[in-house]
Amino acid sequence: MKKVITYGTFDLFHVGHIRLLKRLRSLGDYLIVVISTDEFNALKGKKSFFSYDERKEIVEACKYVDEVLPELTWEQKREDIINSGADILGMGDDWKGHFDEFSDICDIIYLPRTEDISTTQIKQELSIITPENLKQLEQSVHTIFSIVGSLSGVNK
């Protein structure tokens, strides 16, 4: 059985994550996803929208994933690869070259990211929503419902 292992935060799970996991799973028979814990994210200066337990549950629900483990430190990768019996370490190509040091124990594959989608991009787009924007959006939605209702005869 060929095993593939990958690492990530997997916050705000989106289609880019799904496509990456699907491609990674196609490289082998068993996919292990190692997710950064909240404590490890804090050490990296990051904060996830969803907690580790929530992110783990979301990733475990993905049909391409066979096992989810916690990432506690940068240094655990070699031990994880060896202990899991992983044949391939697969990562997004934004990490190209960063994990070549493990080529003595497994194959390293960097896959292209899904274009036009990233957690960072989603967070940036969500950050521009203000109470004023939300109020305008709500008014627009009510106006649209009103127009659709009048056109369909619902309001008659």
| Residues with catalytic roles | 44, 46
24 C-beta neighbours (distance < 10 Å), count: 24
Q: Count, in order, helices (H) and strands (E) of the chain.
A: 6, 5
Q: How wide is the angle at C-alpha 51 spanned by C-alphas 56 and 119, nearest 5°?
A: 85
Q: What is the DSSP string of 117-132?
A: --HHHHHHHHHT--HH
Q: Which residue type occupies 15?
A: V
